Structure 1
Amino acid sequence: MEGWISITIKVVDSIMGSGKSTFAIEKMNNDTERKYIYITPFLDEITRVKHSCPNKRFVDPKNYDNEGHFQKKQDSLHNLLAAGHNIATTHSLFKQSNEETKELIQAGNYVLILDEVMDVVDHLTIKNSDRDLLFENNFLNVDDEGYITWNNNDEKTRNYDGKFNDIKHMANNRNLLFYKGSILIWTFPISIFEAFKEVYILTYLFDGQIQKYYYDLNKVDYEYYHIENSNGNYNLQKGKNKSPKIKAQYSDLIEIYDGILNDIGNDKYSLSMSWYENRNQAVTKLKNNVSNYFKHKMKAKSKDIIWTTYKDFQPKVSGKGFQRSYIAVNLRATNDHRQTKYLAYTVNRFMNPIIEGFFIERGVKLNHELWSTSELIQWIWRSSIRDNKKVYIYLPSKRMRNLLKEWLET
């Protein structure tokens, strides 16, 4: 890839609710010299940062300028960077960063605080016929490092403007890699991180996350920190927090259902995506199990419920009394559901096999079970356990159930 970069990423790896965001806000408020970019998954967190750091005068990119003229948010971001503002914005916009973004960040001597890991590697869905058309007509090429490049040497392709503009933009931005001779892999440009003076990532179980493997792939150094609360002051301490008290407090707060409704998930791959795709009758049974758990086992009211499955199968599992309580399986970093205490996690999470294979082919070591555990823990923490209140969870996958128990016990 592009070799070692000069920055060392500071990974603040502390459990949800330990004060990572509070630490970040205190840090920004106390720093009177440097400028910050705060990147978060959700709009409400942008509002929180703006209100909590009044002296920093954080701004967020808009689709309209001061005179009411439409502009792309990326152009707005660039204008704000050029003007030297402190900026709070979303993962979604930050993922569009390009060479201009990098140069503006570098010129502004910015510090990055990344609230939660973001999608830095993805499988790009494109029809085989379209992909073949682009290569056969010399629109795309592959360089020695495996990056897909757009042919800017030919006037016809250089001036192309059409349905493949996104591909053109990503190729010119050095975002695309070739995998197994046909699959396009999108990656966030590693040079963006290099442009910052410092980078902080606020997360938990980083060792199991794709962004960790992305840094390993690109030979990026990172070091671990954790948050310690000392009389209401949230301090950054080097290394991981290995205190057994951190998780011990949750053993009594998470009650895992143990009964006959779990029989549907006894096999290793039960409730995986392929299981859903090939077992219509079992999915119907699962729907009945979820209904039984909420209505009869827990006697839960809909306002106290959250549940999840794969997005494509939501209609098939959804039932009366809990259909409106669905939240996405990969939802994280939001407090919108912190009043809920009855949970149903009806999936068995595995890494995307294409992304997994992409890393393995390049010699990156993965921790599959920790990745699955991380996804599960993040989802559970959308509930009232955030406030140290007891939650009850139906976790029919035996594999996922065991991963949760192991996490609680170690």
Structure 2
Amino acid sequence: MKITKIKVVDSIMGSGKTSAAIQMMNKDADHKYIFITPFLDEIDRIKHACPNKRFFDPKNYDAEGHFTKKQDSFHDLLAKGGNIASTHALFKQSNEETRELIQAGNYVLVLDEVMDIVEYLTIKKSDKELLFDNKLIYVDNEGYVCWNNEDKKAKEYDGKFNDVKNMANNRNLLFYRGAILIWTFPHSIFNAFKKVYILTYKFSGQIQKYYYDLNNIEYEYFHINHIDSSFTIHEGKSNDKEVRNRLKTLINIYEGTLNDIGKEKYSLSNSWYEKRNQSLIRLKNNVSNYFKHKMKAKSNQIIWTTFKDYQSKISSPGYQRSFVSCNIRATNQYKDRSYLAYTANRFMNPIVEGFFKERKIEIDQDTWATGELIQWIWRSAIRENGQIHIYIPSQRMRDLLLRWLEE
């Protein structure tokens, strides 16, 4: 079986990764491309920037205007051998048919940002018991959850658990510690491509890196060279010391008594939020104090974040509409915002972490958390060299940012 060595273009945000990919695709007359991105507006950017490549994006309808599944449209475009631009959400539905079509088409993949490639599947205990008790699913000796296609009733099943059926048939599900179903992207998809480029930053701490390690998928690092208006991809790790030195002059980190709430290692973590109702009131007051009194910031100058489940607990008039999810990627919607509050202490989901550790893959929580924090900060005015002021009450997260700036 052919093994594709992944080319990880690991360069800091704003270094021109997408521009370099566009220039590479425009110059390459020998290959067809699939460009996968988190956001729809990036699809339009690729279509307009590569007119000679004629990128198509899968639709929910066919050429005659009949509604169809987007995945069917994706497969139809693959069968026709077109260049394709689409989203992570659709690409994550890839199955054996997708793999065969990609391999037959001799495609190159450009993956803009890593995907949520391993995650636990939320399923009610009663539903899980129903699936097992009715012998719709079973666990094989490798730990995969399988759909019981030997049983006629299960094979013909069409209903509430169709997603579980499809993922089980694609070998996307693993049984973990007797209770949790883990969704994993089929790694054979990557080997179907002639080449794979991943455009990202801080890959060494990302789940997709650990997924590659788990599946013995080889990868090598590349970086971006920028000369005049030309962006090119070159072998070897990037050195962004000069960029970080510049960023140090732009990032103003709050130091003061409002940080007292976050002194412990796990302060402001998800588990901390679950247990500390009274502390949430104090944190809410701290954020309000920081924006309104310390910074005298207007609502249209602010972005802030916390864990989604606790957004309403920290939100307050004056900044409640300025919430930006802590796992947001690749948007410039907030490039005019100069006052920030990051009130989360990030740790990888313990179920996902446990899944890897059980398989002898060591996780670097600090590198992962640093990457998440930097990505979020990059949504602000700093992406256009603007000064920013940020409140990070978690001492751990503050220290991680300072350490990164000094690396």
- The TM-score range, normalised by the shorter chain, is over 0.9
Q: Report the alpha carbon displacement of residue 122 of structure 1 after superposing the two structures with TM.
A: 0.6
Mapped pair 1:297 → 2:294: yes
Deviates more, 1:361-370 or 1:8-17: 361-370
Q: CA deviation at 1:385?
A: 0.9
- Whether 1:182 and 2:179 are equivalent positions in the alignment is yes
Residue 218 (structure 2) aligns with? 221
1:266-297 CA-partner distances (Å, limit 9, x unpaired): 11111111111111111111111111111111
- Number of residues of Structure 1 aligned to a counterpart in Structure 2: 407
Deviations 1:297-347 (A, max 9, x none): 111111111100111111111111111110111001111111111110000
Task: Report the 3-state secondary structure (helix = DSSP H, G, I; strand = E; otherwise coil) of the residue aligned with 2:318.
Answer: coil
- Structure 1 pair 68–243 and aligned structure 2 pair: CA distance change class (3 A): closer
**1:144 deviation in Å?**
2.3
149-158 vs 204-213, which moves further: 149-158
* Secondary structure, counterpart of 1:112 in structure 2: strand
Distance 1:243 1:164, change over 3 A: closer
Q: Write the distance in 2 (CA, Å) between the matches of 1:244 and 1:404.
A: 14
Q: Are 2:23 and 2:232, in contact at CA under 8 Å, matched by a contact in 1?
A: no
Report deviation, 1:71.
Answer: 0.8
Alpha carbons of structure 1 residues 5 and 281: separation in structure 2 relative to 1, 3 Å = farther
Counterpart of 1:396? 393
SS in 2 for 1:47: helix
CA contact (8 A) 2:24 2:232 kept: no
2:13 is paired with a residue whose SS is coil
Q: Distance in 1 between matches of 2:48 and 2:240?
A: 33
Task: Say if 2:119 is the partner of 1:85.
Answer: no
Tell me how far apart the structure 2 counterparts of residues 242 and 91 of structure 1 sit (CA, whole Å): 28
Tell me the amino acid that sits aligned with residue 3 of structure 2: S
Residue among 93, 100, 111 paired with 2:97:
100
**How well do the aligned residues superpose, as a CA RMSD in angstroms?**
1.1
Residue correspondence of structure 1 range 56-67 to structure 2 within 5 A: 56-67=53-64
- 127-136 or 40-49: which moved more? 127-136
Does 1:327 pair with 2:320?
A: no
> Is residue 2:290 matched to residue 1:287?
no
Q: Secondary structure at the match of 2:386?
A: coil
2:92–2:185 Cα contact (<8 Å) kept: yes
Indicate the SS of the match to 1:329: coil
Structure 1 residue 384: Cα displacement: 1.1
Matched, 1:167 2:164: yes
In structure 2, the gaps of 5 or more residues are none
1:134-182 CA deviation, whole Å, 9 max, x = no partner?
Answer: 2233211222221111111111111111211111110001100111122
Deviating runs (4+, > 6 A) in structure 1?
A: none
* 1:215-244 deviation digits (Å, cap 9, x = unpaired): 001010000001011222112221112352
Q: TM-score, normalised by structure 1?
A: 0.97
**Aligned match of 1:357:** 354
Report the TM-score when normalising by structure 2. 0.98
Distance 1:351 1:35 in 2: 36
Q: Distance in 2 between matches of 1:296 and 1:52?
A: 45
Q: Which is further off, 129-138 or 390-399?
A: 129-138
CA distances 1:61-94 after superposition (whole Å, capped 9, x unpaired): 1112222211111111111111111110100011
